[in-house]
Amino acid sequence: MTAAADLHALQGSELGVSAWRPLDQATVDTHAATTGDAQWIHNDPERASREGPFGGPIAQGFLLLALFTELASQAIPPFDGLAYLVNYGFDRVRFVRPVAVGDKVRLRVRLDDVRTRADGAWILTFDAQLERASDGAVAVAARWLFLAAERGDA
């Protein structure tokens, strides 16, 4: 099958699930230093444990969203015959539940829609969910879009 046939055949199917990725305080602190999101609920474990509503520090929402890229490489299989598959943005992102520092997360991805553009490229819509290891609950839910095109020699 060509990449186009593979994509259409997989529409509505789960593509994969990544391995569990631990979230430690060093990762949260590095994200804070990079982005400026250094609120005490993320970066002051003592205060977060004492005053915060979650019993300790939690990961920043945008850190969790940034992990989609790393984890997607494990959850989305390669498609032969594509010239490119690039991030096209998000239709929706929801930070459903907090992720405690020390927990692990993984990404579950389903191909929700394949839409052909006038130029022949496709917009792929993935239903992507970041799950917590502690209880299996969804922490981040998103409709993630990619732009893809078939190679001319496919």
Give the start-to-end residue ranges of the domains of the chain: 3-150
**3-class secondary structure, 91:** strand
Categorize the per-residue pLDDT at 1 as very low, low, confident or very high, splitting at 50, 70 and 90.
very low
* Superfamily of segment(s) 3-150: Hotdog Thioesterase (3.10.129.10)
The arithmetic mean of pLDDT across residues 134-145, rounded, is 98
d(CA 44, CA 56): 9
Is the pLDDT at 143 greater than 80? The verdict is yes
Q: How confident is the model at residue 139 (pLDDT cuts 50, 70, 90)?
A: very high
Q: What number is the average pLDDT over the span 128-148?
A: 97
Give 20's DSSP letter: P
Which element (helix H / strand E) includes 96? none
pLDDT at 12 (0 to 100): 87
Confidence check: pLDDT of 2 > 70: no
Q: What average pLDDT is seen over the chain?
A: 93
Six-digit token string for 104: 């692990």
* HSE-CB of 99 using CA atoms within 13 angstroms: 30
pLDDT in tens, 26-62: 999 999 999 999 999 999 999 999 999 999 999 999 9
**Pairing state between β 82-95 and 14-17:** unpaired
